[in-house]
Amino acid sequence: MDVKIKLTVNGDAIEAQVDARTLLVSFLREHRGLTGTHQGCDTAQCGACTVLLDGRAIKSCTVLAAQAQGRQVTTIEGITPADGTLHPMQQAFKQCHGLQCGFCTPGMVMSAIDLVTHHSVADEPTLRAALNGNICRCTGYQNIVASIQQGAAAMLNSKS
């Protein structure tokens, strides 16, 4: 059965007809062409599908598109400033070599933005614990942690 949904994706008002069983990750990738949100495990373990829903990080493989009705979704494509520069967290991942294959990177970046926005970024063990829901199969997380620390500092400095 199809349902009509209205939501905002990366600042754009969207109306669409989708099968009621369509996952948000599938809607973003297949219906909107936003392929930065990756489908990794389909069991909410890896975090590659992480997006912001009303400003909070969620795993979009666990949410139906219909559950996003009337809400705001931000994907990795939606965090780039209007001038085309990188978001401070993206820039930090680039500068600190916080990625290898890049598959997990969008989810890591979105989780990191949520972490900085809603929580205090603490010491390395606390930061590693906060990343528990995001899996990287290529790195030892050292550069990811350094990236988030640098990105957090840049985000907090830009608010000042």
For 87, phi then psi, to 5°, come to: -60, 150
Q: Give the strand pairing for 2-9 and 12-19.
A: antiparallel
Buried b (16+ CB within 10 A) or exposed e, 88-111: bbbebbeebebbeeebbbbbbbbb
The DSSP letter of residue 138 is: S
**pLDDT score, position 123:** 79
**pLDDT score, position 159:** 73
Tokens representing 91 are: 């820039």
Q: Running along the chain, 160 residues long, what does each successive block of 10 average in pLDDT? A: 97 97 97 95 90 97 98 97 94 95 95 90 83 89 94 86
**pLDDT score, position 6:** 98
Q: What is the pTM of this model?
A: 0.94
**pLDDT score, position 160:** 61
Collapsing DSSP to helix, strand or coil, 39 comes out as: coil
Q: Give the strand pairing for 72-74 and 12-19.
A: unpaired
Q: Which domains does the chain have, with CATH numbers?
A: 2-79 (3.10.20.30), 88-159 (1.10.150.120)
